[in-house]
Amino acid sequence: MGSSAKRKKEKQKDFQKPKLKVGKAKAKPENFTDTSFRSKAITLNQQSLHIAAPTSNSQFTHFLSLLSSKSDSQRRDSLAHLTTSIASRPVNSPLPQPVSVILPGLLPLILDANNNVRIQLLKLLRTLPRNDIEDHVGQLLPYVRAGMTHLAADIRVSAVEILSWMVEAAGENVVSSAGGWVKTMNCFLSVLGWHTEESSRWSSNRASFGKSGSQGKPMVKVLGALAEFLDAGIGQPSGSGGDSSDHDEQSSSPFPLHQMGHHMITESSAPYAYLNLFGQPRDEEGEMYETREDRYRVFSTRFLPAIDRGLKSAREEGGELGRASSGVSKVLKEALAYGPGP
């Protein structure tokens, strides 16, 4: 009884009305925080001032470190600086820092909330040398895919832009990297909303959740990127001279050597990546589809119906969207005409 009485008293205390008195200041609430104090600034007596200007290399690393800054403008400015310093370097000279050092800082910016930062990022990416990109596609792709499915439409669009740049720069690597084909296709379908029969009908709520972007015509851009992506993945191999060159090689090599190219160590940076010796075990979606034949097989079984359906409804919609969809249809038609392969 004793303890419960005490408890009751405590409870009662919470509901007592504070007494207001004329001429007295109002009582402060219990959770009041005194913010009247002022912090004093600390001035450093000895600042590290140098007479000599920092070298361009050290400046480059400095700006690289600023990429993870909290302020939007600082990120954007440092990106701009990096872009100019890369673009203005003498021709054929190496980058101030290797791509493998630059890239980890850049990757999270694909998902940056600020539009300008992302635009600047794309500019920077475009300045990077293409053959360096080829080896880092595996790192880039997850971020791009995360961007493509982002809730914010702007981020989706810029991710699609980055993807189309990647396809342009290293198409073969993009489609044949681990998870590059199936997962990215899935992302495309989800951006376009073509996954199921129901969701691709014109009557379904196309306006996706989240704020529609300020950049306009997102669907058109996505369709364009899809066309490029499909072309890189299952389009007719450029210059069917591949076969002929094979023949040439066969014929040109001296007699005992037979199909020498196949037995040489390949020139790509990670020739045994498909063995997946050190990574997580992959499932069907995350598998590498290295040849066009594989990709075509997967595509025709998993994505073809959905894409056909989507294209049809897009064409029916007409306008700019219809025009963009016709680009995709063209690529698709060519690929289908080429069939599973020679």
Partner 1 sequence: MVKRKLGALEKVEADLPNLQHKIRRDPKSYVEDFRAQHYQYESHREIFMAAPTSATDTGVISLRDLIDFISHVADCYPDILKDFPQQLIDLLMQHHLVLEPELREKIVGSLVLLKKKDCMDSATLLHTLFPILISTPSKTLRALLFQKILSELRTANARTTNHKLNRTMQTVLFNLVTSDRRSSKALWAIKLTRELWKRQIWTDAKTVEIMKEASLSENEKVTAGGVRFFLGGDREREEMEDEDSDDDVDVGRIRHQLGINKKTKKKARVAEKAVAMHKKKEKKKNQPHPLNFSALHLLHDPQGFADSLFTKHLKTSKINRHNREQKLLVLQLVSRLVGLHKLHIMSLYSWFQKYLVPKEENVTSFLASLAQATHDLVPPDVLEPLIQKIANEFVSEASAGEIASAGLNAIREICVRQPLAMNETLLQDLVMYKKSKDKGVMMASKGLLSLYRNVGADMLKKRDRGKEASMSLRAGDREQRRFGQQESGGIEGIELLEKWKEEERRKKRAENGLDPDAEGDEDDEDADWDAWNVEDDEDSDDSGGWINVESDGEIDFSDSEDEGKDRPSKKAKQDAENKEKDASEEAKISSLATTRILTPADLAKLAELRAQAAVDSALPKSRRGQVGDRHVDDGLTAEEIEGLAALSKGKLTREERIAHAREGKTDRAEHKSKEARRKERKEEQGKSTTNKEKARRKNFLMTLGKARSKNKRSLVETRAVLKAHHDRAKRGGKRGNLGN
Among 81, 136, 145, 221, binds partner 1 (CB under 8 A): 145
Among 108, 305, 341, 342, binds partner 1 (CB under 8 A): 108
Q: CA separation (Å) from 319 to 124, 131, 157, 191?
A: 33, 38, 20, 19
Integer CA distances (angstroms), 35 to 27, 29, 39, in order: 16, 14, 10
Name residues contacting partner 1, limited to 215-254 (CB under 8 A): none
- Assess 302 for contact with partner 1 (CB under 8 A): no
Q: Where does the chain have alpha helices with state H?
A: 2-14, 56-65, 72-87, 99-106, 115-127, 130-134, 137-148, 153-176, 182-192, 197-200, 218-234, 241-252, 260-263, 292-298, 304-317, 319-338
244: helix, strand or coil: helix
- Kindly write down the DSSP assignment for every residue of 117-167, as one continuous string: HHHHHHHHHHHS-HHHHHTTHHHHHHHHHHHHT-SSHHHHHHHHHHHHHHH
**Nearest CA to 112 among 164, 154, 60, 165?**
154
Q: How far is the CB of 111 from partner 1 (least distance, A)?
A: 4
**Pattern 169-208, partner 1, x by CB under 8 A:** ----------x---x--xx--xx-x-xx--x-----x--x
Residue whose CB is less far from partner 1, 192 or 335: 192
Contact between 154 and partner 1 by CB under 8 A: the answer reads yes
| Choice between 95 and 152, CB closer to partner 1 | 152
Q: Are 63 and 76 in contact (CB under 8 A)?
A: no
Which residue stretch of 18-26, 92-100, 135-143, 162-170 sits at the interface with partner 1 (rule: CB under 8 A)? Answer: 135-143
Residue 113 lies near partner 1 (rule: CB under 8 A):
yes
Number of residues located near partner 1, criterion CB under 8 A? 43
DSSP character at residue 52: S
Min. distance of Cβ 142 from partner 1 in angstroms?
4
Task: Kindly state the smallest distance separating residue 238's Cβ from partner 1, in Å.
Answer: 30
- Interface stretch with partner 1, choices 37-45, 92-100, 108-116, 310-318 (CB under 8 A): 108-116
Residues that bind partner 1 (CB under 8 A): 2, 4-5, 8-9, 12, 35, 68, 108, 111-113, 139, 142-143, 145-146, 148-155, 179, 183, 186-187, 190-191, 193, 195-196, 199, 205, 208-211, 279-280, 286
